[in-house]
Amino acid sequence: MSVLLTPETTFIVQGITGREAVNLTRECLDYGSRVVGGVTPGRKGREVHGVPVFDTVGQAVEHHGSQIDGSVVTVPPAFTKDAVIEALDNGIKLVVIVTERIPRGDVAEMVEYADRQGARIIGPNCLGLIAPGICKMGGIGGPAKDAEKAYEPGVVGVMSRSGGMTTEISSTLTAAGLGVSTAISIGGDAIIGSTYAELMPFFEADEQTEAIVIYSEPGGRMEAQLAEWVRENDSRLPIVAFMAGKFMDDEEMQGMSFGHAGTIVEGKEDSATEKIARLEEAGIRVVERIDEIPEAVREGVSK
Amino acid sequence: MRFFEFEARRIVEQAGIPVTSYGFCTTPDEAREAAAEIGGPTVVKSQVLTGGRMKAGGVKFADTPDEAAAHAEEILKLEINGHMPRGVLVDPKAEVKQEYYAGVVWDGTAKKPLMLFSDMGGIDIEQVAEEHPDHVGRGHISNLDPVFDFQAKEVIAATGVTGSQLNRATPILARLAELFRDGDMLLAEINPLAELTDGRFVALDAHMEMEDEATGRQAELLREKLGIAEDDTRDTYVPSEFERRVKAIDAADHRGVIQGKDHNFDGNLGLVIGAGGGSLTLTDAVRSQGGKPANYSEIGGNPSVAKACGLAKEVLQKDGVEKIAVMMSIVSNTRVDIVARGVIKACLELGRDPSEAIAVFRIPGAWEDEGARILDHYGVEYYDRSVSLWDAAGRAVEKVQGAS
């Protein structure tokens, strides 16, 4: 029916009193998501759009009376690691990290900690995830009415290193009548909690999902890892990939940085051209244009 | 942030890794003094943040202090790959029995630091890995647990190194792994790690790079231990006039973010585009359809009218720009009407007719109806989400080419 989220999914927002977090809370509530609490140290007793604010995650769990499923973390980079580990130690199993510019060592620590607890991190530097008509966790898609317009329930699982492009691609799939099963903004950093390959098993197990679309950029080994996963697992899901940033391959663009933090190209294998070759070798269809995606998905599904 | 060799050596030294006694000098006189203090043959090395020093003549051997001073004088004036040296390092010429490699890098797939060791030091580790894979040992360390010496031992033993060499190299690799983690490094490399004729192991050269995001919390290491000034960012990138002006506009107002780049872009179509992923996609779409972008840009985080206006004005005023294309993927935070107001204001202030200067405006999403109303009023060609990024870019290319 969807990936990682259900209609019953409960979550908190850490750093809920920040400007962006207040908007995000409003959007999620309007969409019908169950935001059961917020945490900002020193602000206990306040409310954000009717959501009670606590000093600690433990207080939020106690107030809720049972386990809370997730947390959206929007605290500044220097405090993110502590906030995430607080959530994990309070039994939270799905953490979306919105914060940008967190040092890589902190991200790696949080991810290893989550692994040991059997928990999952999405992000950092992401907009969260949405199961259309079921739950929106994070700023993905924006205000509820905009999210409804771009994301209709359907058959395609979307994973994207760009938050904005998650919505652009999903909107294209919605307009084509294919719709989206679950869309995940996985984050634009060099090290993230959940890569394409790590999320594939969830989509594989989801009956609603019939195909996968990924948005990809230069930098990192995430696409090579996906190509490997595809070769090793006899997946039922056709995958369509879109690769942005081909212009960065040009000789005269070398050494310049564009887009997300993760797009820094360290070796030749990280370039767009190399990645496209890697994905195609594994049987993944790579399209040149976003508007070619629906057709490619249909062809993949009918094979 | 990259470190000079003399700084990288200080970092490994402070982590308890032996180095030779060396002197960092900025004048020939200092070099003479350092060489005299060392006594015996020395090597004078250029301190630049680029590779290929040896080939470029930035590393020279001296038998006497006077010779060291003469080499220093030459090397201090020698530009290597466009970099002028910060100084020279005067080092005793080591009696080397064998060179090894010890390094730690990030493994993004495993999300853990990866220790590397080779008994073939002094050359590029990538080359060794390709040509002699059995001479490279590898092993991850945890982000949470202490670094255990046995983990380093396993990595080194995998290359066939044993005996006292194994026992001497083990703590060095383990300490290097610790300093990589504690110092928020992206790269920590000792190459060569030398075994001297007397059996001691010393770091003869070291490369370190710290993650920019972490320089704030590493202030103690950077300022107090290394004496690096706060404004010494080591950024070798020299921004263009356009880039500097866009940065100033961005800094003047905390609402939203704009970025502009134009190094090696010299086309006739100005791009006012966003955000991270959308900008990459749109730049490709313009170029793939034969368009010539005049710049790259990013708009995000709901900028003010002044900011959108500022970026558009800078782009419009760039040499050779005939029209601008204002395009983004569907926005949920940035408001369409605010960007529309900004770019129209930019045209009017420059005495340009918005309907002529703006080739296309394709930003769907938040407040799009209000945006469309404004654009309509000025006769600007506007597209909503039913027109793809590719088609909008193609239309802009068509219009600017028709105009030239």
The 10s digit of each residue's pLDDT in B100-111 is 999 999 999 999
Over the stretch B18-75, which tens digit does the pLDDT of each residue have? 998 888 999 999 999 999 999 999 999 999 988 888 889 999 999 999 999 999 999 9
Nearest to A247 among B216, B287, B391 (CB): B287
Chain B nearest CA to A220, separation (Å): 7
Asked if ipTM goes beyond 0.90, one says: yes
Query: Please, what's the b/e burial string for B71-86 (b: 16 or more CB within 10 A of its CB; e: otherwise)?
Result: bbbebbebebeebebb
Instruction: Compute the residue count for chain A.
Output: 303
Kind and range of the H or E run holding B88: strand B88-92
Structure tokens at A274: 């190399």
Would you say B174 and B19 are in contact if contact means Cβ atoms under 8 Å apart? Answer: no
Look up residue A285 and give its amino acid. Answer: R
Q: Do B144 and A288 touch (CB under 8 A)?
A: no
Residue B397, phi then psi, degrees to nearest 5: -60, -45
Strand order across the A51-54 sheet:
A47-48, A51-54, A34-39, A10-14, A70-73, A94-97, A120-122
Which is more confidently placed, B113 or B302?
B113
User: Which of B196, B218, B236 is where one domain is finished?
Assistant: B236
Give the domain ranges of chain A: 10-302
Is A163 part of the contact surface with chain B (CB cutoff 8 Å)? yes
Is A281 part of the contact surface with chain B (CB cutoff 8 Å)? no
**How many helices, marked H, and strands, marked E, lie in chain A?**
10, 14
B327 and B394, same domain (yes or no):
yes
B247 and B215, same domain (yes or no):
no
B60 and B166, same domain (yes or no):
no
Q: Do B213 and A101 touch (CB under 8 A)?
A: yes
Q: Do A103 and B274 touch (CB under 8 A)?
A: no
Which residues on chain B are in Cβ contact (under 8 Å) with A105?
143, 181, 184, 211, 214
B141 and B230, same domain (yes or no):
yes
Q: How many angstroms separate the CA atoms of A110 and A108, rounded?
A: 6
B120 and B254, same domain (yes or no):
no
Residue B287 has pLDDT above 50, yes or no: yes
HSE-CB at A249 with a 13 A cutoff on CA atoms is 17
Reported confidence tier of residue A303, pLDDT bands at 50, 70, 90? confident
Nearest to B181 among A105, A163, A215 (CB): A105
- Cα torsion at B217, B222, B224, B225 (round to 10°)? 120
By CB neighbour count within 10 A (0-12 exposed, 13-18 middle, 19+ buried), where does B327 fall?
Answer: buried
Q: How many angstroms separate the CA atoms of B168 and B165, rounded?
A: 5
User: What pLDDT was estimated at residue A207?
Assistant: 96
- What mean pLDDT is reported for chain B? 94
- Pick from B309, B248, B319, B308: which is nearest to B274 by CA? B308
Domain residues for the domain of B107 are 1-20+95-236
Which residues on chain A are in Cβ contact (under 8 Å) with B300?
164
Look up residue B91 and give its amino acid. Answer: D
Q: What average pLDDT does this structure show over B146-156?
A: 98
Reported confidence tier of residue A117, pLDDT bands at 50, 70, 90? very high
B364 and B250, same domain (yes or no):
yes
B64 and B150, same domain (yes or no):
no
Q: What is the DSSP letter of B83?
A: B
Chosen from B104, B287, B328, B329 to mutate, greatest number of chain A CBs within 10 A:
B329
B118 and B181, same domain (yes or no):
yes
Cβ atoms < 10 Å from Cβ of B231: 5
Q: How many angstroms separate the CA atoms of A240 and B42, rounded?
A: 60
User: What pLDDT was estimated at residue A253?
Assistant: 81
Structure tokens at A158: 């979307």
Q: What average pLDDT does this structure show over B219-242?
A: 87
User: What pLDDT was estimated at residue A6?
Assistant: 97
Chain A nearest CA to B333, separation (Å): 6
Reported confidence tier of residue B404, pLDDT bands at 50, 70, 90? very low
* CA A127, chain centre distance (Å): 6
Q: What average pLDDT does this structure show over B158-174?
A: 97
Which is more confidently placed, B377 or A264?
B377
Where residue B303 sits, what CATH number does that domain have?
3.40.50.261
Where residue B121 sits, what CATH number does that domain have?
3.30.470.20
Nearest to B111 among A101, A111, A244 (CB): A111
Which residues on chain B are in Cβ contact (under 8 Å) with A244?
277, 280-281, 284
Which residues on chain B are in Cβ contact (under 8 Å) with A291?
388-391
B226 and B252, same domain (yes or no):
no
Q: What average pLDDT does this structure show over B335-351?
A: 97
Cis before B18 (ω within 30): no
- What mean pLDDT is reported for chain A? 95
Would you say A74 and A101 are in contact if contact means Cβ atoms under 8 Å apart? Answer: no
User: Which of B202, B236, B270 is where one domain is finished?
Assistant: B236
Nearest to B329 among A165, A217, A255 (CB): A165
Give yes or no: A260 in active site: yes
Would you say A273 and A246 are in contact if contact means Cβ atoms under 8 Å apart? Answer: yes
Residue A136, phi then psi, degrees to nearest 5: -125, 125
Q: How many angstroms separate the CA atoms of A111 and A119, rounded?
A: 9
User: What pLDDT was estimated at residue A250?
Assistant: 86
User: What pLDDT was estimated at residue A204?
Assistant: 97
Residue A69, phi then psi, degrees to nearest 5: -75, -45
Which residues on chain A are in Cβ contact (under 8 Å) with B263?
256
Q: Do A77 and B330 touch (CB under 8 A)?
A: no
Q: How many angstroms separate the CA atoms of B20 and B40, rounded?
A: 13
Q: Do A190 and B261 touch (CB under 8 A)?
A: no
* Chain A residue nearest residue B238, CA to CA: A256
Where residue B29 sits, what CATH number does that domain have?
3.30.1490.20
Q: What's the number of domains chain B is made of?
A: 3
B194 and B119, same domain (yes or no):
yes
CATH superfamily of A10-302: Succinyl-CoA synthetase domains (3.40.50.261)
* Chain B residue nearest residue A167, CA to CA: B330
User: Which of B236, B269, B286 is where one domain is finished?
Assistant: B236
* Chain A residue nearest residue B256, CA to CA: A20
Q: What average pLDDT does this structure show over B156-171?
A: 97
